[in-house]
Structure 1
Amino acid sequence: MTAQQAASPRVRATWRIPLVTASLVAACLGCAGPSRAVVESPPPGAAVGTAASTTTAATCADTVFDAMTEPQRIGQLFMGGIAAAQPDRSQIRVLQENHVGSVFLAGRSTAGTAATRNLVDGLQAGADTVAGRPVRLLVATDQEGGQVQVLSGPGFSKIPRALVQGTWSPDVLRSRAQQWAGELKSAGVDLNLAPVADVVPASLGTANAPIGRYGRQFGFTPATVTVHSDAFLKGSAQAGVLATLKHFPGLGRVTGNTDTTAGVTDTETGTGSASIEPFRSGIKAGAPFVMVSLATYSKIDPHHQAVFSTPVIQGMLRTTLGFKGVVISDDLGNAVAVKAVPPGNRAVDFLKAGGDLVLTVNPSLVPTMANAVRTRTAQDEAFARHVDQSVHRILSAKAQEGLLSCG
């Protein structure tokens, strides 16, 4: 518990043990706190709601934001990893103590939809309460298909790799994606970190370590990837699950894998490259989330990795492509690509560049990251305003998913 929480008479902690296998510790914090003047942020994306519903979501987000303490707001900026098969109780406690607003189900689980829902319900029991109302967790996972499918077992389909999905008609893929997203919804998962919108040239193929090696791409041309990533997005939206275009501005032209390799650089992709088209089309279609890669793009910003690059996030993604939704980082916890950057700097630099939601598969880094963000917020008013806008975007996405209660 932070000093601010302990000092506030409006904050109380109620600990209980939800009835789930992992014996999760749950914390409820009823609180309210002062707010800063902010610039109202646009809704996350047309694919997840009508104009009326997004307006209502934004209003609800405003209400919740105004009632939050500063630590609670900062906690909304983080997504921490939790093992989908055997959650670690101490890691869950770290996330709860830091008011982390989103969790990522990582690893592999063959438990099926019912058991996963039981786990998620236990996690949700520990979500913060603001002004007497729950602010439910945004629960995410990786459910692309092929070797990248976290959740399986009874109730979950076996999803083929994207290279196979790309041989189907867009209508068939949209229907299948709706089915897969429905399975996630039944398991309590709100956000899928898919589809992959990266274009791997046929000449590179499996030599592309992060994508081509595993057949994670829908095809080898921008046209094929565009129509199929759009179909995946539409199917997900029809099932009420948020989807994520990744890994902007594309990992199709690199050889190194940022998860396991430092200094991965794309020397070909520029602001006008055809490989950007799947992202452009998906954003136009209303993609609610976009994930930014950890590679460096020498023709766009040779001095910063994309995840820390203002030209990539604010310039290309926000201004040129007009993306108004939630910008999420690739893993800033365990990825070798960012190991040389201190954890606190990873979070601050991503947010400073225009990002919204810090993903760390390693939840033990959250306290350091959150403290760094809190310190920078107190010192830099422009940074503080951006943080508030990011929290609004995340809360708006939650409201559209029914994870906030304002009625």
Structure 2
Amino acid sequence: MTDFSVDQDARAVILPAFDSLDFAEVMLPFLERGGCSVLIGENRAEYVARAMSPERLARETPERFHACIAALKGVTPHLIVAVDQELGGIQRLQGLVPALPTLEEAQALDDEALAERCRVTAAAARELDVTMFLAPVADIVDGQNPWLRARTMGVEPQAVARVVSAFVKGVQSAGVTAVTKHFPGFNDLAEDPALVDVSLLSPRERILQNALPFTAAIEAGTKAIMTGPAPVAAIDPDNAASTSPAVMAMLRNDFGFKGLVVSDDLDAPATLRGRTLLETATASLNAGADLLLVGGGPHLDALCEGIAAATRAGRITRERLGEAAARVRQNATGV
């Protein structure tokens, strides 16, 4: 039996994302009612540019960043603080911590040296109270993919697997959770799933050939894996990976992953597929996701109340919600 209420568990499974440090008004009541995670993200322009803006770099200091997190930890001492800190891609902590190696540097370093470079970045992030990197990107893109342009680490599965493994070992040795993404790998998407309802049409054989980096991450001990934001037609043409029971079953059963499953952004058109955010969150939990990434804002309370109501009505089992919340809290406490 859980020691937490349905309402507390409904908040524990939500990872709210904010594009600035002005989140206290929303986050403090969310945490007081059971939430335990926050994603400190970037705005759309920074996401597209794969770099933080000059304005942000001038305005944000390590001291201000740390102080904003400290205010939240005053309510929830065991707090998951996530950022996008990708090797070769988006680095939310640009200007705040030592940079990760460039992709070219990473490919030239041996495994031990590469892991050490990643550890140094993660250790500095840990000093800022960051506990989770939404990275590494393990997708192999051998077609087109505007969503992952300038965020992936190569087209040769074995080479990418080596970098992914070193990244996971390095950052986790510093006490930061690596969230390897975006399972099962999106090698070819015609458009950006954050903007358009698009599906991965690659054959299952190609997807599995390109999935070696995920296997390597699991073998390296990655504590979390993020599922993707679009349907994988060869596995489940109707549901995005983050809401697909078949994709979750593949991850758990075929790949043997036992850790925390994080959804990609449930607000994405390719994930929503015409449903409400609550319907999508319910589907994601029922599929097997544990921590649900959503945009932060005043709507959070209604979303969490909706998840609690869905559980009381039997649309989500109490056991499933409790299992997901327990995995999230386990990660938050570092147990």
| Pairwise TM-score range, normalised by the shorter structure | 0.7 to 0.9
- Which structure: larger Rg? 1
1:103-118 alignment runs, 5 A limit? 103-107=38-42, 108=52, 109-110=56-57, 111-118=60-67
1:274 aligns with 2:209: yes
Partner of 2:13: 77
- 1:167 is displaced (CA, Å) by 4.2
Partner of 1:144: 86
**Partner Cα distance (1:372, 1:381) in 2:** 11
**Partner Cα distance (2:172, 2:89) in 1:** 23
Match for residue 310 of structure 1 among 242, 245, 249: 245
Contact 2:230 2:271 in 1 (8 A): no
**TM-score, normalised relative to structure 2:** 0.88
**Partner Cα distance (1:73, 1:238) in 2:** 29
Match for residue 219 of structure 1 among 130, 154, 179: 154
Partner of 1:338: 271
Pairwise CA RMSD: 2.2
**Partner Cα distance (2:178, 2:62) in 1:** 19
**Residue segments in structure 1 that go unaligned for 5+ positions in a row:** 1-36, 38-64, 128-133, 402-407
- 1:296 is displaced (CA, Å) by 1.0
- 1:163 is displaced (CA, Å) by 6.0
1:349 aligns with 2:283: yes
**Partner Cα distance (1:379, 1:157) in 2:** 49
- 1:281 is displaced (CA, Å) by 2.0
Contact 1:106 1:361 in 2 (8 A): no
Structure 1 counterpart of 2:94, which letter?
S
- 1:271 is displaced (CA, Å) by 8.7
**Partner Cα distance (1:158, 1:208) in 2:** 25
Deviation sequence 1:94-119 (CA, Å, 0-9, x none): 53365321000111553243332222
Partner of 2:141: 200
- The residue matched to 1:246 in structure 2 has which SS? strand
**Partner Cα distance (1:306, 1:184) in 2:** 29
Partner of 1:297: 232
**Partner Cα distance (1:272, 1:254) in 2:** 13
Distance change >3 Å, CA 268–CA 164, structure 1 → 2: farther
Distance change >3 Å, CA 98–CA 331, structure 1 → 2: farther
**Partner Cα distance (2:140, 2:104) in 1:** 11
Deviation sequence 1:220-274 (CA, Å, 0-9, x none): 1110111110000000111111111100011222232222222233333459721
Partner of 2:309: 375
**Partner Cα distance (1:225, 1:183) in 2:** 25
> Identical aligned pairs, as a percentage?
26
- 1:361 is displaced (CA, Å) by 2.5
1:88-99 alignment runs, 5 A limit? 88-93=23-28, 95-96=30-31, 98-99=33-34
Partner of 1:283: 218
**Partner Cα distance (1:266, 1:295) in 2:** 10
| Segment of structure 1 superposing worse, 336-345 or 387-396 | 336-345
**Partner Cα distance (1:153, 1:297) in 2:** 36
**Partner Cα distance (2:301, 2:206) in 1:** 36
Distance change >3 Å, CA 81–CA 181, structure 1 → 2: same
- 1:388 is displaced (CA, Å) by 1.0
Contact 2:239 2:271 in 1 (8 A): no
Structure 1 counterpart of 2:317, which letter?
F
Partner of 2:176: 241
Partner of 1:180: 121
Distance change >3 Å, CA 364–CA 341, structure 1 → 2: farther
**Partner Cα distance (1:269, 1:364) in 2:** 40
Deviation sequence 1:356-394 (CA, Å, 0-9, x none): 001113333422321221122112287211111111111
- 1:141 is displaced (CA, Å) by 0.5
Deviation sequence 1:131-154 (CA, Å, 0-9, x none): xxx5x2111101114551112225
- 1:79 is displaced (CA, Å) by 0.9
Partner of 2:196: 261
Partner of 1:397: 331
Partner of 2:46: none
Partner of 1:120: 69
**Partner Cα distance (2:317, 2:128) in 1:** 36
